[in-house]
Amino acid sequence: MSSSQTFQIAVFPGDGIGHEITPPALELLRQVAKRVGGFDFEFRTMEAGAAAYKKWGVALSEACRHSAQEADAILLAAMGLPDIRYPDGTEIVPQIDLRIALQLYAGIRPIRSIPNVPSPLGDKRAKALDVVLVRESTEGLFHAMGEGRGTIVDDAYCDDTMRITRTGTSRVVDAAFTLARHRKAQGLPGRVTCVDKANVFSSLAFFRQVFDERAVENADIVADHAYVDAMATNLVMRPWDYDVMVMENMFGDILSDLGAGLVGGLGYAPSIDLGDKHAVFQPCHGTAPDIAGKGIANPTAMLLSAALMLEWLGSKHGEDKAKEAGALIAAAVDQAFINGLITHENGGSDGVKEVTNTVSESLKTVMI
């Protein structure tokens, strides 16, 4: 790669607070590229989501899908609005269609505490919490989302189906082991916990069986198991006992919101939807329609998602400058909160503008 690499980024602000938190992320990306040098961005911003559906009758056009496929990475804020729905009443969630279309099978959800951000955990160990939840993202209890959901029969019952496949489980479990290996090299424990309900559901016993098979192939990494109900307690009581956790789609959906709560709220939780070729970087939260347009949203999860994007682009393209830029954004976020930011969701008065400006100021001087 040349020293003047330009990364093509497909940008989806989506709906609700997505329009408020996307411009700061792009601004910060431009700023860090300028500071570090060696690479640049070309952003292609596209309309998709509930508002796009209302306007054109299509939530994610073919053109958007194509651009996403062609881009080096996809930065997505949030999509969906409660009062704009498909005729059958279901929510408009094209980000889930994108996961299926691009086979983004591993939802990487870091749960990392930020200095000074209040946590409901009293323990001092919560101040240095750094664990990662890996959510299978193409099947499980969500598997029919792209094809039509469970149907109510005779107004009497409705079945949704949990689909666990060998291929789907193997690839997400391997992604978890790879991540743990990477973390081990950085001095973290390097351990993968399979979170399931193998004692009750055949599908999840199969998930565990495939996990155990993959554990044999990844013998350099410690592997163990936990039931999801016990894990809900353990994540509240002693999350620092874990490192990387891998689980079925629905369990990951729920536990990653719990994880966000441990580090201050949904506004602090970034994510990657990772596939073999593509990746979408987005906050764990939704469009937050209750606070949209008020300027009080916390953009931190979006800024940290942009940082993860840089680190991933850097690793993928062998571009150390991009990796450095990602680490700088994460460090600037930490520094901004050390400097005293308190967001609305934690009872403070800092919103999009204040957080963005403080992080941007920190980015001018922060070192890694």
- Can residue 362 be called a binding residue for ligand ATP (CB under 6 A)? no
- Can residue 287 be called a binding residue for ligand ATP (CB under 6 A)? yes
Structure token pair of residue 95: 């980000």
- Can residue 285 be called a binding residue for ligand ATP (CB under 6 A)? yes
Q: Choose one: 122-130, 206-214, 236-244, 279-287; the region binding ligand ATP (CB under 6 A).
A: 279-287
Structure token pair of residue 124: 């001092």
Binding residue for ligand ATP, selected from 210, 221, 291, 330, defined by CB under 6 A: 291
Q: Exposed, middle or buried: residue 54 (CB in 10 Å: 0-12, 13-18, 19+)?
A: middle
Amino acid sitting at position 88: D
Which residues between 258 and 277 bind ligand ATP (CB under 6 A)? 266-267
Which residues between 322 and 351 bind ligand ATP (CB under 6 A)? 345
Binding residue for ligand ATP, selected from 113, 193, 203, 298, defined by CB under 6 A: 298
Q: Bridge partners of 40?
A: 6
Binding residue for ligand ATP, selected from 14, 49, 80, 107, defined by CB under 6 A: 80
Number of residues that bind ligand ATP (CB under 6 A): 14
Determine the Cα–Cα distance for residues 151 and 154; give it in Å rounded to an integer.
Answer: 10
Q: Choose one: 110-118, 143-151, 244-252, 282-290; the region binding ligand ATP (CB under 6 A).
A: 282-290
- Can residue 356 be called a binding residue for ligand ATP (CB under 6 A)? no
Name the residue nearer to ligand ATP (CB basis): 17 or 280. 17
Name the residue nearer to ligand ATP (CB basis): 190 or 265. 265
| Interface map 216-255 toward ligand ATP (x if CB under 6 A) | ----------------------------------------
Name the residue nearer to ligand ATP (CB basis): 50 or 279. 50
Shortest distance, position 234 Cβ to ligand ATP, whole Å:
23
Residues forming the site for ligand ATP (CB under 6 A) = 17, 80, 266-267, 285-288, 290-291, 297-298, 301, 345
